[in-house]
Amino acid sequence: MKFFGILCISLIIYSCAAVSPPRGGPEDKDPPELVASDPEEGSLRFKGGEVKLIFSEYIDEKSINSAIQISPLLDPPVEIIYNDDEITLVFPEELLSNQTYVVTINRNLKDERKVALKQSIQIAFSTGNVIDEGEIKGQIYGEDKYAAHLWKLANGFIDSIFITEPLYVSEANDQGFFSFKYLSPGDYVLIGLDRNAAGSALVPQRMAYGVSPQKIYSIKRDSAISGVSIRPIREIPQLKLTYGEWVGRKWGWINFNREMEEPVFEGVKLIDSDQKVIMPELKQDLDDKKKFLIISPDTLSIGKSAFMIDKVLINEKVELEDAKISFRTVTKTDTSNLEILKPKSSTSIRLDKDGGPDFPIIFSKPIMEFSDSSFMVVADSDTTIAKLEWINPTTLLFKPSDGWAEKKDYELITVSSELIPIEGQSFKDSLLYLNIKSGKKIGYGGLKGSIELDSKLGLIELQSLKNKKEIFRSSVNSNNHFEFKKIPEGSYSLMVINDINKDGIYNYGSVFPFKASEWFYSHSDTFKVRANWDIDLGNIDLLGEK
């Protein structure tokens, strides 16, 4: 009997402990779902007290506090109590009369397996006899994950509202769709921004954000506004000279905090440790346009030196003044051999419509002297002098003098003795070989159509899905037609832009000072350009969309 009693106790303990699901089987990747609330969503004459949220599975307790927001804000705040698959919200009993309170549960909420909500959830309760049914919804376009912030205006619009905590937050789903429901009548403003910053005050210099094409959205009783489109971008930071590195006795690199296109430098100089003033050359790096090669005509004295710029201009606008950076010059003479940094080995290319591409070759140090016979090309046993374009002393662009041929093997031969680097030795081997294989030629096609739009300032933008930096634009003519010619084959997204300032690009707007973005429409279909085909998309009717 004693043994039997112990056995029964053991079985009871085991059965009480074994509440977790059995091991094995496929991993549960289903997101948690809100299955019910008590009181029910949409309840009227809400008096405060407990609201129970019941989920389809156990919730990760650590994810709760950052996942739930109550609008409008309450003082004292709602108390949150965790109980496995239930979350209890304890509202204060003194609430505003005739007010709709909205509980937003964002995608920070996760189940025990760290699977997040599929999209944010909103439920509402009213202290009066009606639930406000106003709604604003739209889509945020971009490569990242986003959220939308919404504020209700109390005393008119001021742009400083964007750096306050939002009244409402809606995390966009994976396709960028967001929605604010249960809005009371009034005027609202909104922005889109990084999902990581959801619920935080905007810091424009640190966060990607996007403003909408309209400053204020007015909600009437039970009205709905849809189709709000936002494209976030990071603000272009103030240009800064960040750091410099002196690599040899006569050369080094300087770096800026952002890329530049065709900058103009004024008052560039070096001052070495002996206070000798030297006027160096600056050459922009091909791959990294934040980076510039410095070449000094004289050897800098050993010790601390300074690099200075009076002005940097871009498009005739002064972007930087009185910049200075210090570094130490090297004390050891460079005796190393020249190397090719890129490409490291055999490579392949595809021909474009102009006989290119120009193939980049990047050296480990500047080349100061070379001859016409420094580079030779072998193709089908024929040897010719290579056609070269020096971008800067470390980078050249190469293609055969008569252009590339399709599906052909090339060998670029570099003669070491014909290249003189700024310091040290040329290549370790007398000859250096680089194999380049040309593939099938890129095909080109056309795309055309017409568009019905309220505005006569239509601009069509095609973006390659394979290479996001490859963008083509076409204006819409007076007959509402547009056309693209000689577009590389492939799949493209299509965007229609209301080009208000007629500058031929999309303008994102800004928060300080506030400037609305240009209106745009992103077509839901993907369009495929085929080689040697002109595809007619027909008529795209956007009347009433704007």
pLDDT digits (tens, 9 = 90+) for 164-207: 989 888 889 889 999 999 998 999 999 999 988 888 899 998 89
Q: Is the pLDDT of residue 518 over 90?
A: yes
Q: Residue 357: CB partners within 8 Å, gap ≥ 6? A: 349, 350, 351, 399
> What pLDDT band is residue 546 in, cutting at 50, 70 and 90?
low
pLDDT of residue 96: 87
Helix and strand counts by DSSP (H, E) for the chain: 1, 42
Q: How far is CA 282 from CA 271, 326, 336, 440, in A?
A: 15, 16, 23, 38
- Kindly report the average pLDDT of the chain as a whole number: 88
Sign, CA torsion 342/348/352/356 = positive
pLDDT of residue 380: 80
> What pLDDT band is residue 405 in, cutting at 50, 70 and 90?
confident
Q: Is the pLDDT of residue 493 over 60?
A: yes
CATH number of 241-328: 2.60.40.1220
* Region 55-81 average pLDDT: 89
pLDDT digits (tens, 9 = 90+) for 297-329: 999 998 999 999 999 999 999 999 999 999 998
pLDDT of residue 292: 96
Q: Is the pLDDT of residue 18 over 90?
A: no
Sign, CA torsion 461/464/467/468 = positive
pLDDT of residue 25: 53
Q: Is the pLDDT of residue 486 over 50?
A: yes
For residues 428 and 534, give the distance between their C-alpha atoms in angstroms, rounded to a whole number. Answer: 52
3-state secondary structure at position 161: helix
Out of 2.60.40.1220, 2.60.40.290, 3.40.630.10, 2.30.30.170, select the CATH number for domain 34-230.
Answer: 2.60.40.1220
pLDDT of residue 481: 93
pLDDT digits (tens, 9 = 90+) for 437-460: 998 899 999 999 998 877 778 899
Q: Domain boundaries in the chain?
A: 34-230, 241-328, 340-438, 444-541
For residues 286 and 290, give the distance between their C-alpha atoms in angstroms, rounded to a whole number. Answer: 10
* Region 115-132 average pLDDT: 90
For residues 166 and 199, give the distance between their C-alpha atoms in angstroms, rounded to a whole number. Answer: 6
Q: Judge whether 375 and 412 are in contact, CB under 8 Å.
A: yes
pLDDT digits (tens, 9 = 90+) for 257-274: 999 999 999 999 999 999
Length of the chain: 546
- B/e letters for 498-521, b = 16+ CB within 10 Å, e = fewer, are bbeeeeeebbbbbbeebebbbbbb
pLDDT of residue 26: 61
Q: Residue 524: CB partners within 8 Å, gap ≥ 6? A: none
pLDDT of residue 359: 87
* Region 6-24 average pLDDT: 44
- Triad 242, 144, 59: Cα angle to 5°: 120
pLDDT of residue 32: 94
Q: Judge whether 41 and 124 are in contact, CB under 8 Å.
A: yes
CATH number of 444-541: 2.60.40.10
Pairing of β 209-211 and β 177-183? unpaired
Q: What is the DSSP letter of 201?
A: P
Least confident of 231-235, 375-379, 525-529: 375-379
For residues 164 and 81, give the distance between their C-alpha atoms in angstroms, rounded to a whole number. Answer: 28
Q: What is the DSSP letter of 116?
A: B
Least confident of 44-53, 382-391, 481-490: 382-391
Range from 21-25, 166-170, 215-219 that averages highest in pLDDT: 215-219
* Region 44-48 average pLDDT: 93
CATH number of 340-438: 2.60.40.3710
pLDDT digits (tens, 9 = 90+) for 372-389: 788 888 888 787 777 788
